[in-house]
Amino acid sequence: MLEIKNLVKRYGRDKAVLEGLDLKVEGNSVISIVGASGAGKSTMLRCINRLVEPTSGSITLNGTELVHLKGADLRRARRKIGMVFQGFNLLDRLTVMENVLAGRLGYVNLYQAITRRYPQADIERAFMLMERVGIAHYANKRADELSGGERQRVGVVRALMQEPEVLLADEPTASLDPRTSEQIMMLLQSLASELSLPVLINIHNVAQAKTYTERIVGLRHGKMIFDGVPSDFNKDALDAIYGGIEAPDDAISDAPSEERAHDPA
Ligand SMILES: Nc1ncnc2c1ncn2[C@@H]1O[C@H](COP(=O)(O)OP(=O)(O)OP(=O)(O)O)[C@@H](O)[C@H]1O
């Protein structure tokens, strides 16, 4: 279980960008975090894996307090937090397999890491996960030879190689075309349930949030002003989150639905 209590983040002396957030995530829920640009979505995710230092508050993952961890304890805790990025964050000149195995760096010793001698079990797990998401045949290709959707699948597998207890995805579909975005959302939804993994997804596309996630958290100016199921995310909720700031296209339509029931990967 991931539990955030009274999380505050202030950059320097500026006004707090997160003003006391509380969030509890259990089981294999897939949760989207929506909000206008600058609402604090990325800051919230980055506080969880401590890419950003929380100013105050508590974040626990399965009983371990993450705030204030340092050194080896922080590295150990971070292994349990997978992250998928908007820009994929792959090492372009390395192969797909090498990128995927980078997800094990937190587990192997320095010699293994430098010589890239990963345990056989890691290689088998890598192939199993690459098969699962449909990229195993690209194992020896350079990462920069793949399409955006394929690259994001590499990013997802790399995160899963960490054997995470929670998966964070920061705008995972923002660099992809609409159809590929839907495929990645479906993939995250299926993997959450197959691996019993909670997944938190920052997303601008409210229609996709409604279609592919089971809970929506809405932020506005660093405060949580909506936390509920997609069917309750109506025009009022939309106005409360975006009113006067931004009006996302097709935000309350039930957009992509053709393939929502299955994952083609
Ligand atoms: N490193 C930083 N230093 C100072 N201010 C920052 C830093 N990172 C983010 N901010 C500010 O914090 C606020 C929240 O930013 P954040 O990136 O978390 O929002 P967001 O909801 O993810 O926005 P977007 O959807 O545009 O990515 C913004 O006002 C931003 O300018």
**205 CB under 6 A from ligand 1?**
no
Task: State in Å: Cα 244 to ligand 1 middle.
Answer: 19
Atom 10 of ligand 1 has which residue's CA nearest to it?
11
- Domain co-membership, 75 together with 182: yes
**Mean pLDDT computed over 128-147:** 96
Q: What are phi and psi of 85, to 5 degrees?
A: -110, 155
Following DSSP, what letter does each residue of 164-216 receive, concatenated?
-SEEEEESTTTTS-HHHHHHHHHHHHHHHHHHT--EEEE-S-HHHHHHH-SEE
Can you read off the two tokens belonging to residue 153? 């699948």
Alpha-carbon gap, residue 213 to 119, rounded angstroms: 35
Among the candidates 128, 163, 198, a domain finishes at: 163
Domain endpoint, select from 114, 139, 163: 163
Nearest CA to ligand 1 atom 1: 11
Give the mean model confidence (pLDDT) for residues 37-61: 96
Q: Are residues 75 and 193 in the same domain?
A: yes
Tell me which of 14, 15, 21, 43 to substitute to probe ligand 1's pocket, judged by most ligand atoms within 8 Å of the beta carbon: 43
pLDDT band at 110 (very low <50, low <70, confident <90, very high): confident
- Tell me, yes or no, whether 95 and 208 share the same domain: no
Range of the domain at 116: 89-163
pTM of the model: 0.90
Give yes or no for residue 198 having a pLDDT over 90. Answer: yes
Structural domain ending residue among the three candidates 163, 181, 212: 163
Contacts of residue 32, defined as CB under 8 A and 6 or more positions apart, other chains included, come to: 200, 201, 202, 203, 208, 209, 212, 213, 215, 216, 217
CA of 67 to the centre of ligand 1 (A): 20
Compute the distance between CA of residue 254 and CA of residue 230 in angstroms, rounded to an integer. 10
pLDDT at site 248 = 57
Query: For position 243, what pLDDT does the model report?
Result: 85
Q: Say if ligand 1 is within 6 A of residue 220 CB.
A: no
Whether ligand 1 lies within 6 angstroms of the CB of 41 is answered as: yes
Nearest CA to ligand 1 atom 2: 11
Q: Write down the ipTM of this complex.
A: 0.97
Q: Residue 243: which CATH number? A: 3.40.50.300
Regarding whether 181 and 121 lie in a shared domain, the answer is: no
Structure-model confidence comparison of residues 111 and 247, the more confident one: 111
Q: Is 61 exposed, middle or buried (0-12, 13-18, 19+ CB in 10 A)?
A: buried
With tokens 């294999």, the residue in question is 28
Helix (H, G, I), strand (E, B) or coil at 148: helix
- Asked which of 99-108, 185-194, 242-251 is least confident by mean pLDDT, the reply is 242-251
For the chain, how many structural domains are there in total? Answer: 2
